[in-house]
Amino acid sequence: MKKLLVYLKSSKKECILAPLFKMLEASFELFIPLVIANLIDKGLKGGQTSVIVQSFGLLVLLGLIGLVAAVTAQYFAAKAAVNFATELRHSLFEHLLKLGFPEIDNIGTSTMITRMTSDVNQLQNGVNMFLRLFLRSPFVVFGAMIMAFTIDVKSAAIFLIIIIVLSIVVFGLMAINVRQVKNVQKKLENVTSSTRESLKGVRVIRAFCLEQEETQEFNNDNNLLMKALNRAGNIAALMNPLTYVMINMAIIYLIFVGTNQVSEGLLTQGQVVALYNYMSQILVELIKLANLIVLINKALACGNRVESVFEIEASQKEGSAEVPRNEEAVRFEHASLVYPESSEETLTDINFSVAKGETVGIIGGTGSGKSSLVHLIPRFYDATAGNVYVDGVNVNEYSFEQLRKKVGVVMQKAVLFKGTIKSNMDWAMENATEADYTEAISNAQATEVAEGKGGIDGEVEQAGKNYSGGQRQRLSIARTLLGKPQILILDDSSSALDYLTDYNLRKAIKELDYKPTVFIVSQRSASIMHADKIVVLDDGKIVGIGKHEELLKTCQVYQEIYESQYCDQNSIAENAEKEVR
């Protein structure tokens, strides 16, 4: 949590002025019982009208000054808290964007969202309340006790006793409550994760008619959160009745003793009322202090959770290589990959090279490691054994910006951001010309998509929900082509396209004037059969490399994939007839 305090540096003035104005407000508040005592003893009892008027005017003045001080303190505290939360969110978001795929996979999306929203909000509330009350409440408690002793030592002895007893009760309940509050935050994260997953997959849930099952699962998580909140709330609910019982018993004792002393002439009626007011102030401030400490502990727990994200360092380190000219665009040198938290290799001993300008097809069964292989090229993941080279330089020696300007990737899942077609394409190249947009859209076979939305300024909703799957894929390809990468990776990014559009896309890429090296990951043999080189994967291992005709003769896995997609229709009919007979 200490590391997060650096985000308060820009609000040093506010952090000083907020508690000072609160102390000023508290100082004036401590004088109010004395003014009331004087009003009763000299004004009401003595019948001095001037004292009544003066005391009333003084109370109004003290109230106004206290109000101005309180509002000013609140302003500075709120400003410091908001600045703190804003800087923290910016820094946290920036840090998360610097993390690699392995770290993001390990943290989880729902966890990152909870840290950036709920946890940072709790920290903001904690900072706000801390600046307002961390000096004010102790000052009022001990100030009220001291002021009571200036009135009467014997009557004020009960103040010392009640403060000690109340502190034990309040802070004892608080210590129990803090552990339960931490448990509440964990349960809240589970509910957030469950909600996000269900809403993200709502179409799949409806397709399989699993609404009731998902509702039940959500209710289970929600009930666990409710139980945790109830346990925390039950302990917190004990605080008010216990403290009020004790303080009222102290007030009863105080009035009893005070009455006797008034009868004996040792105290005045106004002084008894002043002592009563000081007792009430102590009660209010102790409860405020207890609630503040609960809130601070909750904020500390959230702060530790946020800090734990900052402590996660990216496992991938950047280089600054000078790029030599090399005939090899990409070379895998006995590369292997084991994902974090996995005990088995996803890729094993990948060893082949690709010349500049070649088109390479990657094919294999589901889970064979096709996407994992191409993700090693832009360093989405680092090889756990062996090396990967781009232009003859180990990818680990490039800076991320340098490497990923050379390598353009179109992911399996097409992701578009809220804005326009142009704003989405600008991710690949800023200050592109009209001709650049038109060329990229045309090559991606997305001309009709853009024209149907009114051109490159056509609206794109969040996640591209106003486009079909095939339209999103074509716009994602257009975005990558705009950057004119030297190495283009199409990671099963044409799965939603029909065969004719897929063919035209591959033809347009083949005819690009800057001749990129192309990696096509696909389940369709038709999409890669005309590639210069086809790599066949099975269970993370290369089982065949060559052209289409060669692999049909030498690679059984490729043969099975091809035959499953291009089986002779006459043979199917003949087999069906035999089965009928």
Residue-by-residue DSSP string for 351-379:
EEEEETT-EEEEEESTTSSHHHHHHTTTT
d(CA 546, CA 560): 16
pLDDT in tens, 179-197: 777 778 778 878 877 887 8
d(CA 286, CA 140): 9
Domains 2-310 and 328-578 fall in the same CATH topology: no
pLDDT tens track, the chain, 581 positions: 677 888 888 888 888 899 889 888 888 888 888 888 878 877 777 667 777 888 888 888 888 988 899 899 999 999 999 999 999 999 988 888 888 777 777 777 777 887 888 888 888 988 998 888 888 888 888 888 888 888 877 777 787 887 788 778 877 877 777 777 777 877 887 887 788 788 878 888 888 888 888 899 889 989 998 988 888 878 777 777 887 788 778 878 878 877 877 887 777 888 888 888 887 887 778 778 777 877 887 788 788 888 888 888 877 777 765 656 666 889 999 999 998 777 788 999 999 999 998 999 999 888 888 999 999 999 888 899 999 999 888 888 888 888 888 899 998 888 899 999 999 998 888 788 889 999 999 999 999 988 888 888 889 998 888 888 889 999 999 999 998 999 999 988 888 888 888 889 989 999 898 899 999 998 888 888 889 999 999 988 999 999 998 998 889 998 888 888 776 444 433 443 444 44
Model pTM score: 0.67
- Per the CATH hierarchy, to which homologous superfamily does domain 2-310 belong? ABC transporter type 1, transmembrane domain (1.20.1560.10)
- Domain boundaries in the chain? 2-310, 328-578
pLDDT in tens, 126-176: 899 888 888 888 888 888 888 888 887 777 778 788 778 877 887 787 777
Kindly report the number of other CB atoms within 10 A of residue 503's CB atom.
16
d(CA 14, CA 74): 10
Burial class (CB in 10 A: 0-12, 13-18, 19+), 577: exposed
Secondary structure (3-state) at 515: coil
Q: Which CATH number fits domain 328-578: 3.40.50.1000, 3.40.228.10, 2.102.10.10, 3.40.50.300?
A: 3.40.50.300
